[in-house]
Amino acid sequence: MFYEKQDEDSVECNLCSHRCMILEGSRGLCGVRENRNGTLYSLVYGRVASRGVDPIEKKPLFHFYPGSKAYSFGTVGCNFKCENCQNWELSQSPKPDGPITGENVSSKEIVKVAKNLGCGSIAYTYSEPTIFMEYAYETAKIAVKQGLKNVFVTNGYATEKAIKEIAPYLHAVNIDLKSFDDEFYRKNCGARLEPVLETIRLHKKLGVWTEVTTLIIPGLNDSMEELRKIAEFIKELGEETPWHVSRFYPAYMLIDFPPTPVETPRKAREIGYEEGLRYVYLGNVPGEGENTYCHNCGEPLIERTGYMVNRNRVSGTECSRCGAKIEGVF
């Protein structure tokens, strides 16, 4: 899916915003899409590299069936090269021509296992779901027929065409907005900022429940000015859009960087509220900034410890105290 033959030796991949021109016998930047005699093949269709049951809060999605379980899975490969990647063994291993690892699991089997384990949704995650779109698309269609929801945890670099193709079967997304600086995206991720912003806008327009995550890395994207720009952008999307601000821990190529001081995401949360956002959460700060409060009366409605929901007082989609609408899918 999502490619065009250019000449005898090359094809253009239109799955993500890199729009790779791929020569015969070569792969795209993701490392998992290969040109074979003018046909672009997915090397990871049906090849699961990691899977398991997670709380939906771990995605993180805090306003999408809180307390439910998601059957999570992913393949190797990614169209980004983030220097701070926590799952680099999966995301970077196939590049440029590394082995494609994983067990053979059909879409039907994924859905069957998810239902047998009592999961309400399937989460396409761990690496980047865009790069295994055909596999995700087939699985998502079957999941919907079986009464399950579908969730993408994504870097937001899919093309408009790809997003619109999967959107009818997609119920929620958490999209990383890693920075509001194009230079950060170029250097740290090997990508650009604007396509990510357009992806977030498009999901909101299409009615897919959307939450945004920013991992704050000391010295790279932690200025208060930049965090305010992110908050302003999210407010433009809608004040109901949840924003997760998370602490960085040393990983991959940034192993020598210090962890993010707790004060930084705390300040980001304050900025989010100052800009008019209704729901701002802290990530990787245990025991703090995890609860959902009514934006109208301040009543604690969903109380969490880590990824576990201890108490949920949302009545339908309303505050149980004042009746204000609490946005989300409950």
Please compute the mean of the pLDDT values over residues 185-194 and round it to a whole number: 98
Instruction: Give the position of tokens 């027929």.
Output: 145
pLDDT digits (tens, 9 = 90+) for 73-108: 999 999 999 999 999 999 999 999 999 999 999 999
pLDDT band at 168 (very low <50, low <70, confident <90, very high): very high
Find the mean pLDDT for residues 148-169.
98
In 155-198, beta strands by DSSP E: 172-176
The one-character DSSP state at 261 is: P
CA torsion sign for 98, 101, 107, 113 is negative
Please tell me the pTM assigned to this model. 0.97
What tokens were used for 78? 């990614």
Tell me what the mean pLDDT of segment 294-298 comes to. 97
Distance, CA of 184 to CA of 246 (rounded, Å): 17
Q: Are strands 209-216 and 243-247 parallel, antiparallel or unpaired?
A: parallel
Q: Distance between alpha carbon 221 and the CA centroid of its chain, in Å? A: 19
Pair of tokens at residue 74: 């992913």
Contact 242, 279 (CB under 8 A): yes
Write the burial class of residue 97 (CB in 10 Å: 0-12 exposed, 13-18 middle, 19+ buried). Answer: exposed
Tokens of 277: 């956002």
pLDDT score at 2:
97
Q: Which amino acid is at 326?
A: I
Helix (H) or strand (E) holding 141: helix 133-145
Residue 109 has pLDDT above 90, yes or no: yes
SS3 295: coil
10 Cβ contact partners less than 8 Å away, ≥ 6 residues apart: 21, 22, 23, 24, 35
Q: What is the mean pLDDT of residues 155-180?
A: 98
Residue 8: per-residue pLDDT: 85
Q: What span, in angstroms and rounded, lies between the C-alpha atoms of 288 and 293? A: 13
- CATH T-level assignment (fold) for domain 44-290: TIM Barrel (3.20.20)
Task: Tell me the residue type at 135.
Answer: Y
Query: Is the per-residue pLDDT at 315 higher than 90?
Result: no
Q: Which residue has the tokens 């899919």?
A: 158
CB 213 within 8 A of CB 250: no
CA distance linking residue 7 with residue 132, whole number of Å: 25
pLDDT tens digits, one per residue of 233-286: 999 999 999 999 999 999 999 999 999 999 999 999 999 999 999 999 999 999
Using CA atoms, how far apart are residues 300 and 319, in angstroms rounded to an integer? 9
| Across 194-209, average pLDDT | 98
How confident is residue 66, by pLDDT bands cut at 50, 70 and 90?
very high
pLDDT > 90? residue 209: yes
